[in-house]
Amino acid sequence: MTRSSKTLWVALALAATAPAHAVVLTGEVRAVDAQQILTPQSNSSPVVIRYYVPEGERVKKGDVVLRIDPGQSASRIPDLEAQIEQGQAKDAKEVAELQVKALEAEMALVDAEAELATAKLDATIPRDLISGLDYDRHQGELDRTTREVALQRKELDAARTAVQRRVEDGRLQIEKLVLQRDYHASLVRTSEVVADRDGIVVHGFNNNWIGGRIDEGSSTMPGSKAGEVVSSGRMNVRAWALEPDRRGLVVGQSVELTFDALPGRKVPGRIAFISGAPDRRPEWGEGRYFTLDITLDAQTLSLMPGMSVRVIARPAAATGKETTR
């Protein structure tokens, strides 16, 4: 190996082992114990927030904190409930009328059977004890009452079948209306976000072209984060690193944090987590970003979720075991 080649090899080795430059990341303050308020899914996009608890207001578990426009579902529920009530009343009336007809048919059958019993007795009188005309009349009456009983039985069966059919038709119609009401009620429920803990509501910011803080009346994208319900004061930082900057970052590495809302104040932190794969953030362009969670070594500042954070990661030896997910 020549002297010049040795010199080049040493220079390359030193360059490979030389510390990299500091990495500057963008992040935001996040509450550790917080419920994410996500904009409900909708068939349209973007959606308008019709109700949103004012920022800073305390809510309890089970309270509705956000609601989007459910469309016509909210107005359809009272109409369907009225239709159900009217349908039940109409069914009861018509079933009662059919039951009266069935009762009348049953009474007619009883009368016909009584006439048939009388005709049977008259028909058993021997021919030689009465005149031939009376005998023929008794036999004819027996034949007539027999046919009348058969007819009345058919009418009674038809009347009872009509009652059962009307009851079943009414039940199916009411069930159909109930299903429609429950469907629209579910749409109304899914258009709401309910607090799953006691805490304070903190509004977020739009991460799309609309921009600005998300408040009541704002337009936002379904599934996007609209804010948080913060239940304690513990905070950490969520930051994002471009793919080329990932190589200079390790779990356990110390970082320096500065906050746009608190100029001149610096807080030390430590990288606690680095995602295993990068994700796209369309609102920032075409690049892909790794997600980092950073813990604060000492939380001495009054921080609020959503604050912008500037993260400076100084070159450091890769110590510790990386945690990915």
Residues 241-250 as b/e (b if ≥16 CB within 10 A, e otherwise) read bbeebbebbb
DSSP three-state, residue 278: coil
Lowest mean pLDDT of 6-15, 91-100, 169-178, 313-322, name the range: 6-15
Q: What percent of the chain has pLDDT over 70?
A: 87
- Which residue from 189, 170, 169, 193 is spatially nearest to 181, judged by alpha carbons? 189
Burial label, 214 (beta-carbon count in 10 A; 0-12, 13-18, 19+) = buried
Return d(Cα 166, Cα 262) in angstroms, integer: 74
> Contacts from 97-106 at CB under 8 Å and sequence distance 24+?
98/159, 98/162, 98/163, 98/166, 99/163, 101/159, 101/162, 102/156, 102/159, 102/160, 102/162, 102/163, 104/159, 105/152, 105/155, 105/156, 105/158, 105/159, 106/156, 106/159
Q: What pLDDT is stored for residue 222 in this prediction?
A: 86
Q: Say if CB 257 and CB 307 are below 8 A apart.
A: no
Residue 4 has pLDDT above 50, yes or no: no
Return d(Cα 259, Cα 307) in angstroms, integer: 7
Q: Where are the domains of the chain?
A: 19-69+194-313, 73-190
Lowest mean pLDDT of 104-113, 139-148, 210-219, name the range: 210-219
**Residue 209 — very low, low, confident or very high, per pLDDT cuts 50/70/90?**
low
**Residue 20 — very low, low, confident or very high, per pLDDT cuts 50/70/90?**
low
Higher pLDDT, 2 or 129: 129
DSSP 205: B
The DSSP H or E segment spanning 187 is helix 132-190
Peptide bond into 46 cis (omega under 30): yes
Higher pLDDT, 172 or 15: 172
Return d(Cα 119, Cα 147) in angstroms, integer: 12
**Helix 73-123 and helix 132-190, axial crossing angle in degrees, nearest 10:** 170
DSSP three-state, residue 276: coil
**Residue 10 — very low, low, confident or very high, per pLDDT cuts 50/70/90?**
very low
Mean of per-residue pLDDT scores for the chain = 83
CATH annotation of 19-69+194-313: 2.40.30.170
Q: What pLDDT is stored for residue 9 in this prediction?
A: 45
Q: Say if CB 238 and CB 27 are below 8 A apart.
A: yes
Return d(Cα 136, Cα 123) in angstroms, integer: 9
Per-residue pLDDT tens over the stretch 96-110: 999 999 999 999 999
Per-residue pLDDT tens over the stretch 232-282: 767 889 899 999 888 889 999 989 988 888 888 888 889 999 998 988 877
Residues in the chain: 325
Per-residue pLDDT tens over the stretch 281-290: 777 778 899 9
- Give residue 144's identity as a one-letter amino acid code: R
Residue 188's alpha-carbon distances to 53, 66, 181, 185, 192, in angstroms, are 17, 12, 11, 5, 7
